[in-house]
Amino acid sequence: MLKTENSNVESSSETNQWFDDLISNLRVDELLLQSDLLEKHKKEVYEAMITGDHDFMHNYARKASSAFFIKNLIDSYFIELVERKARPNRVALELSNSKVLVWAEIENNDENTEDALILSAAKVNNEFSKFGFFISYTIVELEDELSIPIHYKEVSF
């Protein structure tokens, strides 16, 4: 794609504004840090960056990345379930750093809800597996008379 002179100017202007905002925010944080008014969490991050604590920084980035992707994965999954008109009786989740375990109870022989649960997970897994995140599911029917495993948390659906 060819860029016109105007699009380069706009791009350059947007880039300059982004850097100006970033530097401004860093200067504010610097003043707050020097005044010992910076919130504890941000202070820990800056101290790790300043001292070169790579373990802390990578662990922080991993946790933030996992939280971001897991939240979006769960949101996408429930949107899919709603769009497919899934009607599970109960749904429970177990979260880890890279996956979401789903436990769902459905009516006996409810093939439509079972298909919706399976297809929703397949679609979300297709979208998020490239980032290393996925859903694994267990589907039970009422007649199975199984309780939600104790390490799962039931969610309203």
pLDDT digits (tens, 9 = 90+) for 98-115: 999 999 999 999 999 999
pLDDT at 157: 75
Q: Is the pLDDT of residue 131 over 80?
A: yes
| CATH fold of 67-155 | Alpha-Beta Plaits (3.30.70)
Q: How confident is the model at residue 1 (pLDDT cuts 50, 70, 90)?
A: very low
Q: How confident is the model at residue 11 (pLDDT cuts 50, 70, 90)?
A: confident
CB-based contact 139:114 (threshold 8 Å): yes
pLDDT at 2: 42
Count the Cβ atoms, other than its own, within 10 Å of residue 133: 22
Going from N- to C-terminal start, the domains of the chain cover 5-62, 67-155
Q: What percent of the chain has pLDDT over 90?
A: 89
CB-based contact 86:105 (threshold 8 Å): no
Count the Cβ atoms, other than its own, within 10 Å of residue 88: 21
Tell me which H or E stretch contains 154: strand 153-155
3-state helix, strand, coil in the chain (%, to 5): 60, 15, 25
Count the Cβ atoms, other than its own, within 10 Å of residue 4: 8
pLDDT at 99: 95
| 38 backbone dihedrals φ, ψ, rounded to 5° | -75, 140
Look at the pTM and tell me if it is higher than 0.75. Answer: yes
